[in-house]
Structure 1
Amino acid sequence: MSHNQRDMLQRFSFDNTDIRGEIALLDSAYREVIKRHSYPQLIARELGELMAATALLSANLKFPGRLTLQVRMPGNVSLLQAETNDKGQLRAIARYDELAGDEQLSFADGQMVITIEPEQGQRYQGITAVSGGNIAQALEDYFEQSEQLGSRFWLFCNGQQAAGMMLQKMPAMATDDADAWDRIGHLASTAREDEILGLPADDMLHRLFHEEQARIYPASELSFFCTCSKDRIANALHQLGYEELDTMLQEQAGKIDITCEFCQQNYTFDRPQVDAIFPERKLH
């Protein structure tokens, strides 16, 4: 099976109902993230679930821009973050106490922050509580409270692959099928981790919903991609100011080394390159 089939977002809906859904499958896109960091298993799995959730939400990006899901917690795991753009390009990171033993790591109750940043227009941010690292429940609560949309999420990760499924009840649509939401939600709940991680999306949909009139739409690709670049790092350095960078160059043998925390790509700036970040100084 080509990786394209395994890194994909599959939309579907049910005829004569107000229900739509999505399945996100992450294979190499997820492994590209975890191979760059030696995350403990607990964190690697949770990060996979967060990436799958982010991929599911990316269907809401109808414009060029970026969507970020952050789980912020007190305790020895302080941050889980996944982000995607409108092209389905994902990256993710975790921050945790690396001195704590794997057995001591746990997810405290905290906050989930959803940020949508269109290239043009207003930035949007929503916040909801997350308890014990339960991302699916936090998202269901968020859509219920903030969007008044009935939503169900199922998230899976085995440390090598990740997957997610979402059902949403669309507002203001008249339907004769009053118990469709409960019935289809019950069918979706029978999804097993080994199946959703192992089967193509259309096989999974057939297994779950073969008694329903499901309509499957063209799938879109998901991939790992980091948005870091030398220019972006240079812009960040510029914010620090010349004096600060001058001191760093003196302390670090004439070179400033920066590593992107998402993809571990290393960027080096020597004095001529630092001078080039501040063209305005040449005017004096």
Structure 2
Amino acid sequence: METVLVEDVLHPFLLEKAGVRGVMVRLGASWREVAARAEYPPAVRVLLGQSLAASALLTCNIKFDGALSIELKSNDALRLLFTECTDRGRLRGLARWEAPLPEPLAINELKDATMAITIGSVDRGRYQGLVDLRRPDLSTSLESYFEQSEQLPARIVLAADGVCAVGLMLLRLPSEGGHDAADDEDGWNRVEHLTATLGQDELRNTAPEDLLYRLYHEESVRLFEPRPLAFGCSCSRDRVESMLRSLGRKEVEAALEARDGEIEVICEFCAKRYVFDRIDAGHLLSAGHTAEAPTTEQ
């Protein structure tokens, strides 16, 4: 009987014997929605899918009320890569590039590249951490980030194609009050060796329960309640109005003149259209609601 691969779900788990917590993700429809927004070159599409899967994985490591994003910027052919997952499991992402792209597309060779992980919380504001980009791929760069920021070893495997984006993340539990498994030095080594046998094709084509049993059945795998995921965009008319106010009166009025009295803004993430005529612009530019200094909001 053929195994049905359930898509757009996070699968948290614990390897009790080894003292390792983990999470697997398989994105299907949500990833295809993101990938369909542009004619991405294969290398960009793969990196965007990997980043989207990683954004979902990282939300399992923290408790927050807001959104977690991964953003890569450079002055090279890959200008921007942005992916985001909210605490409610809503995903979005995009990339901007210029031809020709380098082959292979190694992030550590991009000119003036920076990568940031940002957590935006309703209660705690924004926290941002920078990722060291001395590694060529996203997986090992994120592993390095965890080792530096959390002082704990991490193992991350990512894969993406035109159909799905998948990921596996493992974190060694910190040593706490008599937790023998977390103090088991050989436990992490065993898990690393087992994970090294995992190929990207197997990760893409195997159900999480089957894959976890194949890899870690001797480590007492404990599965937790899966979390659903879906494509979702946080754009709104209020946010677009705020962006237009930030441009200032002169810019908005110039845009109205250039476009026959109408401004159209199309969200790059979800393609939703926001249209403003002169009456709309007059309301949003009314006294006390304008700002001449531009600001940006992702």
Using structure 1 for the length normalisation, give the TM-score. Answer: 0.91
For 1:259, the equivalent position in structure 2 comes to 266
Instruction: Identify if the C-alpha distance between structure 1 residues 35 and 20 changes in structure 2 by more than 3 Å, giving closer, same or farther.
Output: same
For 1:165, the equivalent position in structure 2 comes to 168
What pairs up with 1:107-256 in 2 under 5 angstroms? 107=106, 108-109=109-110, 110-131=113-134, 133-173=136-176, 174-175=179-180, 177-256=184-263
- Looking at structure 1, the residues matched to 102 and 132 of structure 2 have their Cα atoms a distance apart, in angstroms, of 25
Structure with greater helix share of residues: 1
- Looking at structure 2, the residues matched to 189 and 104 of structure 1 have their Cα atoms a distance apart, in angstroms, of 25
Amino acid at match of 2:16: D
Deviations 1:107-140 (A, max 9, x none): 4343221111101113211112224651111111
**1:130 aligned counterpart, secondary structure:** coil
- Looking at structure 2, the residues matched to 242 and 4 of structure 1 have their Cα atoms a distance apart, in angstroms, of 52
RMSD: 2.3
Over the matched positions of the two proteins, sequence identity in percent amounts to 35
The alpha carbon displacement at 1:102 in A equals 5.6
For 2:287, the equivalent position in structure 1 comes to 280
Unpaired runs of at least 5, structure 2 = 290-298
Larger mean CA deviation between 15-24 and 26-35 belongs to 15-24
**1:160 aligned counterpart, secondary structure:** coil
Unpaired runs of at least 5, structure 1 = none
- Looking at structure 2, the residues matched to 241 and 178 of structure 1 have their Cα atoms a distance apart, in angstroms, of 59
Amino acid at match of 1:112: M
The alpha carbon displacement at 1:200 in A equals 2.1
Instruction: Identify if the C-alpha distance between structure 1 residues 121 and 265 changes in structure 2 by more than 3 Å, giving closer, same or farther.
Output: same
Preserved contact between residue 4 and residue 221 of structure 1 (Cα < 8 Å) = no
**2:125 aligned counterpart, secondary structure:** coil
- Looking at structure 2, the residues matched to 105 and 154 of structure 1 have their Cα atoms a distance apart, in angstroms, of 19
- Looking at structure 1, the residues matched to 104 and 191 of structure 2 have their Cα atoms a distance apart, in angstroms, of 36
Preserved contact between residue 77 and residue 105 of structure 1 (Cα < 8 Å) = no
The alpha carbon displacement at 1:72 in A equals 2.1
Preserved contact between residue 3 and residue 207 of structure 2 (Cα < 8 Å) = no
For 2:292, the equivalent position in structure 1 comes to none
The alpha carbon displacement at 1:279 in A equals 4.0
- Looking at structure 1, the residues matched to 39 and 93 of structure 2 have their Cα atoms a distance apart, in angstroms, of 13
For 1:32, the equivalent position in structure 2 comes to 33
Preserved contact between residue 25 and residue 166 of structure 2 (Cα < 8 Å) = yes
Deviations 1:77-112 (A, max 9, x none): 121111111011111111111xx2467683434322
- Looking at structure 1, the residues matched to 3 and 53 of structure 2 have their Cα atoms a distance apart, in angstroms, of 19
Amino acid at match of 1:71: L
